[in-house]
Amino acid sequence: MPRIRRSVVRTDSFFNALGKLGGNYDKRAGSRFVAGTLLDEITLDNLYHFNDLAATICDTYPGEALREGFEFQIPDDLATAAKVNNRVAELQLVELIKQASVWGRVFGDACIMLGVDDGQAVDQPLDYARVRGIKFLAVYDRRDFTIASYYNNPLEQHFNTPEYYTMQRVNPIRGVLDPSVSAKYSAGVRIHESRLVWLKGANTSRQKLSENAGWHHSILQKPYEVIRDFEMTWAGASHLMQEASQGVYKVKGLMQILVSEQGAEGLQRRF
């Protein structure tokens, strides 16, 4: 029979009464961790486009992962493999995956829309058995969608994940419908989740997903304060460098001039 071990709580540590290290008067005892402010879409957009550190964080992994591209191999059917790879090149699949991955890291979620011809409307689940071809692939980020509904059967694999999205191109600056969208689609387009391949940003708990309208956190959320502090420190150092060099004026025989009669007045007239 296994022996039951009592849990042990460690309470020993260094203590310095004079320096107030340890104990109830330790300054550290008043510290606690609190959640930061969630970055909005405009801030994320500006960070990526105007800050080199933020752009590097978002670009590096996708760029390195797809640096040499990829190709499909079918050992028993080289002719078909060549056709597939030619079609992949025509659709610019590698570049689209890279774009979607970058925007997913920036905004938390981005997707590749599958323009698949299966003889059905886009609000129907994709039927792989009826696929006749791929018309197009397109990259969008979370700003182009709202989550319309979720799978609500707890016995299904996809329970509590999005089932339908509403696609509506909204101007992120003005918060209004983009005027380039035709009146036919002004109410949005309902799209089944099987027709969208999502690439996500940072790992986000279900609780945080619900707090963020179902979207993942940006990969820039965690290092944001470090980036901000670094940029402010760098700017401060630049100001210090400008002020560190002070001009020094020398006057030969200055002491003799000052102690002489009307020396100070003469010095003032000179300069």
The answer to whether the beta carbons of residues 91 and 136 sit under 8 Å apart is: yes
pLDDT at 53: 96
- Cα gap 13→35, rounded to integer Å: 28
Q: Please, which pLDDT band fits residue 25 given cuts at 50, 70 and 90?
A: confident
pLDDT at 174: 46
- Does the pLDDT at position 30 exceed 80? no
pLDDT at 72: 93
pLDDT at 2: 63
The answer to whether the beta carbons of residues 148 and 135 sit under 8 Å apart is: no
**Nearest Cα to 198, choosing from 115, 139, 110, 105?**
110
- Does the pLDDT at position 178 exceed 60? no
pLDDT at 179: 52
Nearest-5° angle of CA 151, CA 156, CA 159? 35
**pLDDT, tens digit, 9 for 90 and up, residues 219-246:** 999 999 999 999 999 988 888 887 777 7
Query: Where is average pLDDT lowest: 108-112, 134-138, 151-155, 265-269?
Result: 265-269
The answer to whether the beta carbons of residues 88 and 71 sit under 8 Å apart is: yes
The answer to whether the beta carbons of residues 158 and 142 sit under 8 Å apart is: no
Q: Please, which pLDDT band fits residue 35 given cuts at 50, 70 and 90?
A: confident
* Per-position DSSP letters for 45-112, written without gaps between them: HHHHHH-HHHHHHHHHHHHHHTTT------TT-HHHHHHHHHHHHHHTHHHHHHHHHHHHHHHSEEEE
- Residue 179's φ and ψ, nearest 5 degrees, are -65, -15
Q: How does the average pLDDT of the chain come out, rounded? A: 86
**How much of the chain exceeds pLDDT 70, in percent?**
86
Q: Please, which pLDDT band fits residue 184 given cuts at 50, 70 and 90?
A: low
pLDDT at 175: 47
Residue 34 neighbours by CB under 8 Å, 6+ apart: none
